[in-house]
Structure 1
Amino acid sequence: MSVNIIEDIPFELNIDSLMKRLRVKAESRYADNLLALVHDAQAIVKPKALFKAVYIDAKYDDRVVINGIELKSRVLRVNLEEVHRVFPFVATCGMEIEDWARSIDDLMKSFWAETIQGIALRSAIRALDKHIDEYFSPGLTSRMSPGSLKDWPIQEQRTLFTILGDTKESIGVRLTSSLMMVPTKSVSGILFPTEVSFESCQLCPREDCPGRRVPYDKDLYDREYRKK
């Protein structure tokens, strides 16, 4: 089971879109500062991604075994009912831009830098999706991440990283003692083929989540995931 590393990911910021997002007007006194920051970021940013294509060893009531390692989640187990191969992954903005962002003392510029880091992470995710689609043709896919639901807690992050191997050596991503990833703008999870699109947001009741992608479906767990 080889590790697939994706580097040399294209990254180009749309200045107009970024300025609109950050509410910086072209004629304002902040515009030149933002443009200088973007110039510095583009010179160093190196988003990256890593994944493995692995087959599921076994499926139980509320857990699955992948590469001899057990992942405990009823929702993940049900989502993988008809699936035989999955793609554990991690994608990141890269330590290069993380270190650069940490060196910025100005509060406003620090916020701008964090926004750019998030855009770099999305570039890595797009490259990951494109690579898997081109080389493995899984069709429609969804993903789940440890900590996104109570059903698959953040503690499972350790287990996922055991499957992925030495991510720090490969792409510079490491887990802290509190199970947070460094660089902070990184995401990990299991990508899997599916007949019906799934988002963890569908099962999460949190109303004020800035990352929400789809509405909460209060009946979905009982309908699809609760043990009969």
Structure 2
Amino acid sequence: MEPVILHLPFELSEEELMEKLRLKEGHPYRNRVLELAEEARKIAAPKVIYKHAYVDSNDEHKVIIDGITFKSRILSVNLEAIHRVFPFVVTSGVELEAWGKGITDMFENFCADTIQEIILESASENFKGILDQECGLASASNMNPGSLPDWPITEQKPLFQLLGQVKEQIGVELTESFLLLPVKSISGIRFPKEGTFENCQLCPREKCPGRKSPYNPELKAKYQ
């Protein structure tokens, strides 16, 4: 199937923003932060490119999806007996990135970065909801290239090959070092799965600010 492009809704709550920035009621910078948030709301145009793709074959260490090879033991285990998957790239958008780059004050730039992060997280969650409803996925999980040593950041390349003209469609490009631009972008493969799977469950790194689930050494042993 051809890739699908969607403009994604997002939420940017004052409460969440102030909590992330640790600005209490009455803080002198509070009003300026709210002004920045309103600017971002007017500019932001988060998008996603995704497609319905099919697993051609799956062995212990690689999976072939629509003719493109992905090398990962963990991906192989997660996609065992699964035939349809959903590769994607979500971005907060080139518009919001340009806005953030135009802010030169150090503190305000940090606030703008946090605002972009919240918008990306919100848009990403909304994409999951839209996709799951569209495809009737009662339970689904994601894997993201670079989040685990078993599926390194170099796997961004075949993911982009699978999706096609990502830069032309939503403005996200893959650098020679396999990073995404705009930086506030995320790529991955969503797939149906009973229960839940988070990359964090296999990562022993302590004090990770982005952790969504606790490390599970028993689960990690299953994938080795």
For normalisation by structure 2, the TM-score amounts to 0.95
- The 2-side partners of 1:225 and 1:136 are apart by 27
CA-CA distance at 1:119 after TM superposition: 1.2
CA-CA distance at 1:134 after TM superposition: 2.1
- The 2-side partners of 1:17 and 1:200 are apart by 24
Q: 3-state DSSP class of the match of 2:189?
A: strand
AA partner of residue 185 (structure 2)? S
CA-CA distance at 1:111 after TM superposition: 0.9
The Cα offsets for residues 119-142 of structure 1, whole Å up to 9 and x where unpaired, read as: 111222123112212221122000
- The 1-side partners of 2:16 and 2:214 are apart by 26
Asked if the contact 2:10/2:126 (under 8 Å) is kept, the reply is no
Asked if the contact 1:80/1:192 (under 8 Å) is kept, the reply is yes
| 1:215 equivalent in structure 2 | 214
The Cα offsets for residues 154-207 of structure 1, whole Å up to 9 and x where unpaired, read as: 111101110011111111111111111011111101100001311111111111
- Tell which deviates more after alignment, 71-80 or 126-135: 126-135
| 1:111 equivalent in structure 2 | 110
CA-CA distance at 1:30 after TM superposition: 0.9
* Percent identity between the two aligned chains: 48
| 1:93 equivalent in structure 2 | 92
Q: 3-state DSSP class of the match of 2:153?
A: coil
Asked if the contact 2:11/2:122 (under 8 Å) is kept, the reply is no
Deviating runs (4+, > 6 A) in structure 1?
A: none
- The 1-side partners of 2:14 and 2:219 are apart by 40
CA-CA distance at 1:2 after TM superposition: 1.2
Q: 3-state DSSP class of the match of 2:177?
A: coil
Corresponding residue pairs, total: 224
Q: 3-state DSSP class of the match of 2:134?
A: helix
| 1:5 equivalent in structure 2 | 5
CA-CA distance at 1:32 after TM superposition: 2.1
Asked if the contact 1:6/1:127 (under 8 Å) is kept, the reply is no
CA-CA distance at 1:73 after TM superposition: 0.3
CA-CA distance at 1:31 after TM superposition: 1.8
AA partner of residue 82 (structure 1)? A
| 1:225 equivalent in structure 2 | 223
- The 2-side partners of 1:122 and 1:177 are apart by 25
Asked if the contact 1:49/1:128 (under 8 Å) is kept, the reply is yes
Q: 3-state DSSP class of the match of 2:213?
A: coil
Q: 3-state DSSP class of the match of 1:220?
A: helix
Asked if the contact 2:36/2:112 (under 8 Å) is kept, the reply is yes
- The 2-side partners of 1:19 and 1:210 are apart by 17
- Tell which deviates more after alignment, 163-172 or 28-37: 28-37
CA-CA distance at 1:21 after TM superposition: 2.7
Q: Which runs of 5+ in 2 are unaligned?
A: none
Q: Determine if the alignment matches structure 1 residue 84 to structure 2 residue 83.
A: yes
Asked if the contact 1:63/1:74 (under 8 Å) is kept, the reply is yes
Q: Which runs of 5+ in 1 are unaligned?
A: none
AA partner of residue 21 (structure 1)? K
**Per the alignment, do residues 13 and 57 of structure 1 end up closer, same or farther by CA in structure 2, a change over 3 Å counting?**
same
Asked if the contact 1:48/1:91 (under 8 Å) is kept, the reply is yes
